[in-house]
Structure 1
């Protein structure tokens, strides 16, 4: 698939149907989360590849907010084989299959595994998880790993 930004994400297995917005890195080089004012919004790292292109497309969403549960609240419940559909601006849909879901402590986060280069179209979905501390927030991240299985045209 060619380069085309994602505009919607669907994960039927966990009831996700959300808009996608571009996100970037902050001043420290960390992935910025999507804006917190919309509980049903997913961010796509625009500095990487578009979903469906060769390489590792990265998307992030909140698990919750002060207003309640957010888009990736159930990300950790995904099982291998579950499908993730990414609708793209060019009216194609990249369909990914979940390979694994892992929880990584933030102080031992496997950057190379999550963000590293891949030889095929892959997808990483990231949210906060694990134990919560009022002082520091969530202590871990939930990461879903997926690979492209097919493309659909509108």
Structure 2
């Protein structure tokens, strides 16, 4: 089985040249799919293709750095704690522990949600114990909101621009990891068809940009 093809990017965020395909598969402590839940390799519900996020979004003023502590997506009833992820000695991004399927991971070497640039958050679709936090991520639609509570007690509110399912073999690095420079967010999980030997065939990606800030 393969690990996610993440290699250590620069501090400012994942390099556009690095293939950061999130291949959440059966083994190596990655996303384990249950045949019973995923239809034994039948196609998982595909996300509808929407327009690409346009460059130069009008956004609110960016926030200073502050680690995310909670992710909330009211439209698909997600409210989950967040843990910081780093890369291992081989440059592979760690994933949230399989023992905590409702946990979301944030790539801590990139921008925090609300900072200028593109913040990356990942979660499992399912594990050997059942459905996980991003099971229904592909059900999001443009206009939905994603709220990220931060350690400084502010909440960065993002609006979804697009939701796409990309085959792993055709994963568009530049489109997914490119940023217009303003505060943006990417949510990633596995999707497509599940195979016992190769795992999921695709990745679900949510594109969003900062539209409001709530302060405690």
Instruction: Give TM-score scaled by structure 2 length.
Output: 0.69
Q: Which has the larger radius of gyration?
A: 2
Does 1:108 find its partner at 2:170?
yes
CA deviation map 1:20-54 (0-9, x unaligned) = 00112345544332111111100000010000011
Query: Partner residue of 2:184?
Result: 122
Q: CA RMSD in A?
A: 1.2
Contact kept? 1:11, 1:85, Cα under 8 Å: yes
Q: CA deviation at 1:118?
A: 2.9
Alignment coverage as a number of residue pairs: 154
Q: CA offset at residue 117 of structure 1?
A: 3.5
Quote the residue 1:33 is aligned against. 95
Could you say which residue in structure 1 is the equivalent of 2:107?
Answer: 45
* Higher deviation after alignment, 71-80 or 102-111: 102-111
Runs of 4+ more than 6 Å apart: none
With CA pairs under 8 Å and 6+ residues apart, which has the higher RCO, 1 or 2? 2
Long gaps (5+) in structure 1: none
Offset of 1:115 from its aligned partner? 1.9
CA distance in structure 2 between the partners assigned to 1:134 and 1:32 by the alignment: 22
Equivalent position SS for 1:114: helix
Structure number with higher strand proportion: 1
In structure 1, the partner of 2:32 is: none
| 1:82 aligned partner | 144
| 1:79-108 superposed Cα distances (whole Å, 9 cap, x missing partner) | 000000000000000000000000111111
> Which one of 55, 68, 85 corresponds to residue 130 of structure 2?
68
Corresponding residue of 2:70: 8
Structure 2 residue runs without a partner (length 5+): 1-62
